[in-house]
């Protein structure tokens, strides 16, 4: 059934999503929509990482930071480089991917960020993200210079899409990519981001995915000189992530996380 969860912070949104899912049959549901305004620095992240590490080892779940890096490698983006920040990010990412391609496993070899900046098009790798950034920046500049009506300036202006899924290449029914699509929408001088997942494991990947998406929105916003707006995740199928986990541990984590973030007023 459709569930809409909208909270101010990433952590609150994650907690509420988990609370919804653990009460569903097998911890699964369809059409789960989650939105939040900002990434927060919460001890809940450490608790999640501790649970993931405890069931990990070689081939176990990734940490939240590793998952976030697959969407946006924040350590490679240095906004104080100004005009050189994005080119340096792409350069560093290209080097990192040469190493990444030597790892085993489709989920590990590939990265969502790589699909955004080197999409396998018929004409070779295509940097969709930079294309959208330049298009957005151009339209923002035009708004200030060419539009005469305050009403028109206030209108939502969809800026296009960033595609992840590559038909013909992504033939595996269970593997990469779970994130299919990213849309950017410019409203009231803020870049809002919507991500569509065909499936999302909220315990194993959700928190890291939310982090990566928030950082991606922040990157685009910074590059076009706008504010970062809301992040929305549409999981056409969502899974709390009970498989391979102790249900009591998962429920305990969710209860503990709720204690940390408090009850909504």
Partner 1 sequence: MVLDVLARARGQSYAELVEEIGDADDLVIDSKQGQTAAIAVESRLGREGMIRAEDQKPEWLSSLNALVGMLARRIRETEPSPAEVAR
Whose tokens are 């999409």? That residue is 119
What is the length of the chain?
265
For partner 1, the binding residue among 6, 24, 47, 100 (CB under 8 A) is 100
Distance CA 256, CA 261 (A): 9
Looking at beta carbons only, is 108 or 157 nearer to partner 1?
A: 108
Q: Restricting to residues 48-87, which ones interact with partner 1 according to CB under 8 A? A: 66, 69, 73-76, 78, 80-81, 85
Q: Restricting to residues 202-241, which ones interact with partner 1 according to CB under 8 A? A: none
Beta strands of 90-150 (E only): which ranges?
A: 119-121, 124-126
Helix (H) or strand (E) holding 252: helix 247-261
Q: For residue 124, what are the β-bridge partners?
A: 121
For partner 1, the binding residue among 4, 95, 141, 155 (CB under 8 A) is 95
Looking at beta carbons only, is 101 or 175 nearer to partner 1?
A: 101
- Nearest distance from C-beta of residue 89 to partner 1, angstroms: 9
Phi-psi region of 157 (alpha: psi -120 to 50; beta: other; left: phi over 0): beta
Number of residues that bind partner 1 (CB under 8 A): 21
**What residues make contact with partner 1 under the rule CB under 8 A?**
66, 69, 73-76, 78, 80-81, 85, 88, 92-93, 95-96, 98-100, 102-104
């Amino acid at each position: 059934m459709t569930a809409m969860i909208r909270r101010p912070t990433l952590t609150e949104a994650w907690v509420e999503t988990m609370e919804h899912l653990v009460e569903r049959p097998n911890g699964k549901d369809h059409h789960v929509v989650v939105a939040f305004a900002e990434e927060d620095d919460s001890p809940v992240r450490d608790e999640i990482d501790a649970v993931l590490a405890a069931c990990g080892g070689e081939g176990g779940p990734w940490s939240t930071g590793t998952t976030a890096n697959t969407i946006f490698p924040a350590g490679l983006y240095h906004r104080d480089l100004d005009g050189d920040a994005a080119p340096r990010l792409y350069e560093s990412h290209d080097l990192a991917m040469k190493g990444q391609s030597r790892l085993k496993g489709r989920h590990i070899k590939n990265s969502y960020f790589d699909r955004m900046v080197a999409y396998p098009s018929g004409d070779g790798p295509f940097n969709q993200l930079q294309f959208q950034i330049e298009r957005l920046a151009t339209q923002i500049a035009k708004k200030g210079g060419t539009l005469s009506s305050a009403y028109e300036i206030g209108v939502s202006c969809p800026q296009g899409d960033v595609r992840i899924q590559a038909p013909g290449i992504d033939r595996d029914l269970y593997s990469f990519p779970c994130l299919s699509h990213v849309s950017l929408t410019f409203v009231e001088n803020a870049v809002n981001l919507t991500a569509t997942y065909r499936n999302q494991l909220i315990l194993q990947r959700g928190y890291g995915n939310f982090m990566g998406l928030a950082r991606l929105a922040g990157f685009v916003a910074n590059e076009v000189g706008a504010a970062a707006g809301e992040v929305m995740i549409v999981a056409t199928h969502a899974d709390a992530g009970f498989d391979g986990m102790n249900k009591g541990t998962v429920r305990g984590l969710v209860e503990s996380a709720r204690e940390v973030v408090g009850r909504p007023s």
